[in-house]
Amino acid sequence: MVVGGAVATARLPPQVVLGGGGAASPRQQPRGGALRIALIVTALTFLGLEIAALLAALWMTRAVTRMVDALHEATGHIDRGIFSHRVASRSRDQLGELAQSYNSMAAHIESLLEERVRAERLEREVEIAAQVQAQLFPKEVPACGGPYRGACRAARGVAGDYYDYLAVAPGLVLLALGTSRGRGSPPPS
* pLDDT reading at 97 higher than 70: yes
Q: What is the pLDDT of residue 159?
A: 73
Q: Where are the domains of the chain?
A: 29-136, 139-189
pLDDT tens-digit readout, 11-43: 545 554 444 454 555 554 556 788 999 999 999
Q: What is the pLDDT of residue 16?
A: 46
Round to whole Å and give the CA distance between 167 and 141. 9
Q: Are 57 and 43 in contact (CB under 8 A)?
A: no
DSSP state of 28: T
Round to whole Å and give the CA distance between 154 and 140. 20
| Paired sense of beta strands 6-7 and 2-3, if any | antiparallel
Task: Tell me the pLDDT band of 151, cut-offs 50, 70 and 90.
Answer: confident
Helix axes 29-79, 94-136, angle to 10 degrees: 10
CA angle in degrees (0–180, nearest 5) for 156-159-165: 140
Task: Tell me the pLDDT band of 53, cut-offs 50, 70 and 90.
Answer: very high
* Ranges of H-type helices in the chain: 29-79, 94-136
Other C-beta atoms lying within 10 Å of the C-beta of residue 161:
17
Least confident of 18-22, 44-48, 50-54: 18-22
What is the SS3 assignment for 137?
coil
pTM over 0.75? The answer is no
- Top-confidence range, 13-17, 62-66, 144-148, 157-161: 62-66
Alpha-carbon torsion (46, 49, 55, 56), positive or negative? negative
Query: What residue type is assigned to position 155 of the chain?
Result: A
Mean pLDDT, the chain, integer = 80
pLDDT tens-digit readout, 75-91: 999 999 898 999 988 88
